[in-house]
Structure 1
């Protein structure tokens, strides 16, 4: 499979190399100075998106589109439909259309290197958005997941106030191997470990789903009937956990604390109705705009503003949304 991907990449390079030399194009050097990128006129940005059936990626795509329009660029989109095969073929097709910059939210980061090599051979910068990375990408844009975990822990500490009571905590992780999930959990545990009042008694995978979150929460509650808190590393698992709480006769109104991560509509609805305590909200729209800004900076030979230059990463901030702030948060999102 890897050899076939390499052949596909080579097949599209000659056409793009010619397009990059067309009249009306500007040349810029990458921030690292390793690759000279070509900014064609008219300016076209390609976005290879994970799955446009998913509201999260719809918001990401909306951010990319808005930023592209604001900067006078045409946007061409390829929907990967949660398929690694579509990720590879769709991305290479975008390269073959003579784009100036490529943004990818990958289904499988391990499939990125051949695409990145083909883009670089055509003097096209590659910005990876969320999920994970591989290969010689130029910028990686994603939420600050570790800090989000820290914020979740700080929310619990703030809620506890001056109480000296010990709280038992359960953690619902994402699927094994999820880099962003590991960061969300590690940030949470690291920050919470500094307060001796909190004791993490269970840490189970929810497989990123409502059903998985339900099962994980049920197992935790069965083994720890006096559990006080559940932190779920995504909102789907938190929604499942809330259903498990109902089954167990526990609720936020009766003192249980349930915190999720994402800022999905389902979780926001539960928070608004007093059935969930908080979520750590991501901003996929904002990440999409940041990805376009990074791509344009690379084309202009400018620094994309790395948060971590060693990994060429731009971290996008996250925020805690509670019952007190959820209405304003939803209103701000709707006004975009």
Structure 2
């Protein structure tokens, strides 16, 4: 059984696939292909490790291809995987609007697909495995709202730096957070910025702009992991560290220290390794001719300075895939 390492870029993977899938594939060498939205983001690389663990344990090969947040690359990756006789696909779409094109391609080729995260606006698929983004964002927002109240800052403005709102998970995170603040009586949202490249540098720029435009800003909700580092850098550069509370979604490796020291107030932690495992299990079920559940919901853990030490065993396993 062959399997390609997770660190391959698209060109390298394509070259190896051309050799590995040259028409001499036996049943025992069938491969599960994971189409990652952006391979170098920790969340999606951990989803890939979860898919890989189940695929290899069940005797399948595994390949991960990087869509680089580009719909055209995603579609080409899917086309190549189907052409080269993938047994099935797990996809974390670039966005919900781009997913139907891949699903249509796979349907015509009779290749089963499971969606892991983000979602789709249309199309046929075996199972959609998703985090409970609304509930997780609501609980994270509630923790941030309480922290603001504890400091007497309930009337201060706040802002959101979101993932793409073209994604269903982005919509759910935004709505969950807003509903939590509404329920807590905190409604002074002064800005929303959508990430484009999901980098720390991008969010650092956004936060620097927000601090200049809204000097009374007291809270930020940042909807994914790596950009948090950019926000912290912007606060430090402006001399505002500790003066603006941050809640985030998805956990960086140093999450325990960040929460324990109060650098972050709350983190909504998806379980990407578990998500990848559930996606692969659903796909293998479909390949056996069974009918897996149409939707599988993976719960969100909300970490704070008070509970993070107790959560770390599960965080290490299912958030970081260690």
Q: For residues 152-182 of structure 1, what are the alpha-carbon distances to aligned partners after superposition, in whole Å with 9 as ceiling and x for unaligned?
A: 1221344467887634241223255432223
Partner of 1:188: 177
* 1:264 to partner: Cα distance: 2.3
Aligned equivalent of 1:227? 217
User: In 1, are the aligned partners of 2:132 and 2:297 still within 8 Å (CA)?
Assistant: yes
- The worse-fitting range, judged by mean Cα deviation, of 106-115 and 285-294 is 106-115
Show the counterpart of 1:6.
Answer: none
Query: 1-side partners of 2:271 and 2:306: how far apart?
Result: 19
The offset of 1:97, in angstroms, is 3.5
- Among 228, 234, 237, the alignment partner of 1:244 is 234
Q: Is the 8 A contact 2:165 2:194 kept in 1?
A: no
How far 1:108 sits from its partner (Å)?
Answer: 5.2
Aligned length: 292
Contact 1:259 1:278 in 2 (8 A): yes
Query: What displacement does 1:190 show?
Result: 1.4
Structure 2 partner of 1:77: 63
| Cα deviation 1:124-160 (Å, max 9, x = unaligned) | 2111222342542312222222222201122134446
Q: Per the alignment, do residues 147 and 221 of structure 1 end up closer, same or farther by CA in structure 2, a change over 3 Å counting?
A: same
CA distance in 2, matches of 1:44, 1:159: 48
2:53 equivalent to 1:66: yes
Q: 1:174 touches 1:206 (CA, 8 Å); kept in 2? A: yes
Q: Deviations over 1:61-88 (max 9, x none)?
A: 1100112233x13133142251544422
Residues 59 and 235 from structure 1, CA distance in 2 versus in 1: closer, same or farther, beyond 3 angstroms?
A: closer
User: What does 1:20-99 correspond to in 2, within 5 Å?
Assistant: 44-70=31-57, 72-82=58-68, 83-99=70-86
Task: Give SS of 2:63's match.
Answer: strand
Matched, 1:316 2:305: no
Please, which of 199, 204, 217 is the counterpart of residue 192 of structure 2? Answer: 204
Q: Aligned residue for 1:286? A: 274
Equivalent residues in 2 for 1:90-109 (5 A)? Answer: 90-107=77-94, 109=96
Q: TM-score, normalised by structure 2?
A: 0.75
For residues 276 and 30 of structure 2, the distance between their equivalents in structure 1, rounded to whole angstroms, comes to 17
2-structure distance, mates of 1:319, 1:334: 12
Counterpart CA distance in 2 for 1:225 and 1:111 is 38
Cα gap change, 1:154/1:303 in structure 2, threshold over 3 Å: closer, same or farther? farther
Whole-Å separation in 2 of the counterparts to 1:169 and 1:234:
21
- Rounded to whole Å, the distance in 2 between the matches of 1:176 and 1:322 is 25
Distance 2:216 2:299 in 1: 34
- Report the aligned-residue RMSD: 3.4
Q: Which residue of 2 aligns with 1:310?
A: none
CA–CA distance in 2 between the matches of 1:148 and 1:281?
Answer: 8
- 1:129 alignment partner in structure 2: 116
Distance change (3 Å), C-alpha of 1:137 and 1:173: farther
- Any conservation in 2 of the 1:78–1:90 contact (CA below 8 Å)? no
Give the direction of change, closer, same or farther, for the CA distance of 1:222–1:88 in structure 2 (3 Å limit). Answer: closer
In structure 2, relative to structure 1, the CA distance for the partners of 1:75 and 1:135 (3 Å cut) is farther
Structure 1 residues 299 and 201: alpha-carbon distance in aligned structure 2, compared to 1, 3 A threshold: same
- Cα deviation per residue 1:68-124 (whole Å; 9 max; x = unaligned)? 233x13133142251544422332232233333211223355444444334223432
Which residues of structure 1 form unaligned runs of 5+?
1-18, 23-39, 307-312
1:142 aligned counterpart, secondary structure: strand
Instruction: Give structure 2 stretches of 5+ with no counterpart.
Output: 1-23
Question: What SS is found at the alignment partner of 2:40?
Answer: coil
